[in-house]
Amino acid sequence: MQLNQRPELFHGVIAQVPFVDVVTTMLDESIPLTTGEFEEWGNPQDPQYYEYMKSYSPYDNVTAQAYPHLLVTTGLHDSQVQYWEPAKWVAKLRELKTDNHLYCSVPTWTRPWR
């Protein structure tokens, strides 16, 4: 995610129900659709896929740096991204940020564009 790699390129970001905790989600086979995604994403039980997923997972690549203003939405009843994933990501960003920008996480009942 460019936000982690080059945050200075953005003044603000709107992330609508972002899939940001790739490793944790793909490790939880009880989440609907997860095992069906192994063919596309790989199975993180395999160390090779685990390390690869971790290398690009936005949550796992948050570092102490300045980030732009963020508006992040979560879908309480979204079948593809669990509501806690974006909230967990925003919490980590708030913990490690080195700026005074606004980071706002807003829950919605469904994906906001439906």
Torsion angle, alpha carbons of 10, 16, 19, 21, to 10: 70
Percent of the chain with pLDDT over 70: 94
Do 52 and 85 share a domain, yes or no?
no
Do 82 and 95 share a domain, yes or no?
yes
Do 52 and 82 share a domain, yes or no?
no
Q: Identify the domain containing residue 46 by its residue range.
A: 22-57
Do 76 and 87 share a domain, yes or no?
yes
* CA angle 9–97–111, rounded 5-degree value: 70
Structure tokens at 44: 């993180």
Number of domains in the chain: 2
Nearest by Cα to 5 from 61, 69, 59: 61
The model carries a pTM of 0.85
Do 85 and 74 share a domain, yes or no?
yes
Do 51 and 34 share a domain, yes or no?
yes
**pLDDT, tens digit, for every residue of 27-56?**
999 888 888 889 888 999 999 999 999 999
**pLDDT, tens digit, for every residue of 55-102?**
999 999 999 999 999 999 988 888 788 889 999 999 999 999 999 988
